[in-house]
């Protein structure tokens, strides 16, 4: 018998012994709770064998229809509480924002965040408040938008020029994702480090992008859930976690050597003059407010949260525009009417005068929400929700996609119809003023990146529609629609296959 089989036999033996012990303990001890409804749970494994590892938002919708707007899954040692109504979402995100304000991490996210040394996955408390404050001023204010918008407009212009210079773009089509990826990195890296990548062939860009994509894949996969739910099975995850640690070390080394160290030297040479967001963060380190690991995990957060969600949303928006040419036409007409007959390039200040463009962005975020269940919340202490007891350390999932697509709460919810935000939903914004629509969350743990994501999305989609007729690729078997099959992750949704888009210049 080889070593691996012996190891598995030993682990399974421990597993069986733990089950017997748990049954005995459950009979004679334990706190009495009035728990939310849910499927009957077995000792140790809970509902894991019934439900499986894949807990995507669509699967949880089906379970909500059976068990109600708040239900409980016992996944091994973890309690998962799933919320599927605006009223209960308000309790979690706003009314009881302190009680449910912590983050539930998992084995993999512990690796990629240094067990919560970042801001996104930090537990609610002094460290999180400090990190949020340090990140807000240089990244997430109206002043940052005003200072950065010329750069974003330039990056969008370069994408348009690249497409116009490529004959294939107007005939057989191109995979727009590649150009948009470089654009998003430059949009964010201009703010963060005051620098950009000239081309997608830049070796440093290619390496960072590849590492970030792999980080996202590993953390969004459902493949490691069994070890996260059942501690005695964690030895089987050693290779997976080793791969995560190796990747994390490589990313941190690149962030440090190629970006952070350069900004540290520039600060020394300038006498402390702050020229970009990273300078502000490094000054906080020099004042002793944070340590250097915190600095690197801020870079880690921005590389993922600041780039990926917006990038996925832009691609979803383009695909919906291709699949709805009447929306393209209406949007193009609005821009021509507002900007004038000579078609001056769309700028960020123009956006407030373009309500239909804003509606296209909101409808994309509604129907094709990138972070479908927000970032999971957690209560550090026992809490109450909807009349039920929620045990401490429970993982709280708000099914934000379902809130925004519930046919009982939205007219023709399954349609891509931007007009809804000019008609029956004209008062609904993406900032969470209506708890049916919270693509960025709301309350203390809401995503501060909304202030960057909305103008970047609008400028990119607007410039493309302003310059091109966006069409599906030609060829036999085409039905004039782009495939919108989604790839679902731990709490995310992106398009499964990056689409080939024909970009036919309008002039």
pLDDT tens, N- to C-terminus, the chain (507 residues): 444 444 444 444 555 555 544 443 444 335 688 999 999 999 989 999 999 999 999 999 999 999 999 999 999 999 999 999 999 999 999 999 999 999 998 999 999 999 999 999 999 999 999 999 999 999 999 999 999 999 999 999 999 999 999 999 999 999 999 999 999 999 999 999 999 999 999 999 999 999 999 999 999 999 999 999 999 999 999 999 999 999 999 999 999 999 999 999 999 999 999 999 999 999 999 999 999 999 999 999 999 999 999 999 999 999 999 999 999 999 999 999 999 878 799 999 999 999 999 999 999 999 999 999 999 999 999 999 999 999 999 999 999 999 999 999 999 999 999 999 999 999 999 999 999 999 999 999 999 999 999 999 999 999 999 999 999 998 765 568 999 999 999 989 999 999 999 999 997
Please give the pLDDT value at position 11: 47
φ, ψ for residue 506 (rounded to 5)? -80, -25
Report the CATH fold assignment for 31-505: Cytochrome p450 (1.10.630)
Non-local (6+) Cβ contacts of 465 within 8 A are: 321, 328, 331, 332, 335
Nearest partner of 421 among 431, 429, 412, 409, judged by Cα: 429
Task: Give yes or no for a contact between 277 and 140, defined as CB atoms under 8 angstroms apart.
Answer: no
Q: Output the six-digit token pair for 187.
A: 């949009």
Q: Which of 392, 477, 469 is nearest to 78 (CA)?
A: 392
For residues 285 and 291, the answer to whether their CB atoms sit within 8 Å is yes
Q: Is 39 left (phi over 0), alpha (psi -120 to 50) or beta?
A: beta
pTM of the entire structure? 0.93
């Amino acid at each position: 018998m080889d070593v691996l089989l012996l190891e598995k036999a030993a682990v399974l033996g421990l597993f069986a012994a733990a089950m017997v012990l748990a049954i005995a303990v459950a009979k004679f001890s334990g706190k009495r709770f009035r728990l939310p409804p849910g499927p009957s749970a077995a000792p140790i494994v809970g509902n894991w064998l019934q439900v499986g590892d894949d807990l995507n938002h669509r699967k949880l919708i089906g379970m909500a229809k059976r068990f109600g707007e708040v239900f409980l899954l016992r996944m091994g040692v973890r309690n998962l509480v799933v919320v599927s109504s605006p009223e209960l979402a308000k309790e979690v995100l706003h009314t009881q924002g302190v009680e449910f304000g912590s983050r539930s991490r998992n084995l993999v996210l512990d690796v990629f965040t240094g067990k919560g040394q970042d801001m996104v996955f930090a537990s609610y408390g002094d460290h999180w408040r400090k990190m949020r404050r340090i990140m807000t001023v240089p990244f997430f204010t109206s002043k940052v938008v005003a200072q950065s918008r010329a750069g974003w407009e330039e990056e969008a212009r370069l994408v348009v020029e690249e497409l116009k210079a490529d004959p294939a773009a107007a005939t057989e089509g191109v995979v727009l994702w590649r150009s948009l990826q470089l654009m998003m990195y430059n949009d964010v890296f201009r703010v963060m480090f005051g620098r950009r990548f000239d081309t997608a062939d830049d070796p440093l860009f290619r390496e960072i992008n590849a590492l970030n994509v792999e980080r996202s894949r590993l953390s969004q996969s459902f493949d490691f859930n069994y070890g996260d739910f059942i501690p005695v099975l964690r030895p089987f995850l050693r290779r997976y976690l080793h791969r995560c640690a190796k990747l994390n070390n490589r990313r941190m080394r690149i962030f440090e050597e190629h970006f952070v160290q350069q900004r540290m030297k520039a600060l020394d040479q300038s006498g402390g003059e702050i020229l970009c967001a990273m300078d502000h963060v490094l000054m906080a380190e020099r004042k002793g407010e944070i340590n250097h690991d915190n600095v690197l995990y801020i870079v880690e957060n921005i590389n993922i949260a600041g780039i990926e969600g917006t990038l996925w949303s832009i691609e979803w928006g383009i695909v919906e525009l291709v699949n709805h040419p009447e929306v393209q036409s209406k949007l193009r007409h609005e821009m021509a009417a507002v900007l004038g007959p000579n078609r001056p390039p769309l700028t960020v200040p123009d956006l407030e005068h373009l309500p239909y463009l804003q509606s296209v962005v909101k409808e994309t975020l509604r129907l094709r929400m990138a972070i479908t269940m927000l970032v999971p919340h957690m209560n550090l202490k026992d809490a109450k929700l909807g009349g039920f007891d929620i045990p401490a350390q429970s993982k709280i999932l708000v099914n934000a996609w379902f809130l925004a697509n519930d046919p009982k709460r939205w007219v023709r919810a399954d349609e891509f119809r931007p007009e809804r935000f000019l008609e029956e939903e004209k008062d609904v914004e993406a900032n969470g003023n209506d708890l049916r629509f919270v693509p960025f969350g709301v309350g203390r743990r809401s995503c501060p990146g909304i202030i960057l994501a909305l103008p970047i999305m609008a400028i990119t989609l607007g410039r493309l529609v302003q310059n091109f007729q966006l069409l599906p690729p030609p060829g036999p078997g085409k039905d004039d629609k782009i495939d919108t099959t989604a790839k679902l992750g731990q709490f995310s949704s992106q398009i499964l296959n990056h689409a080939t888009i024909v970009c036919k210049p309008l002039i």
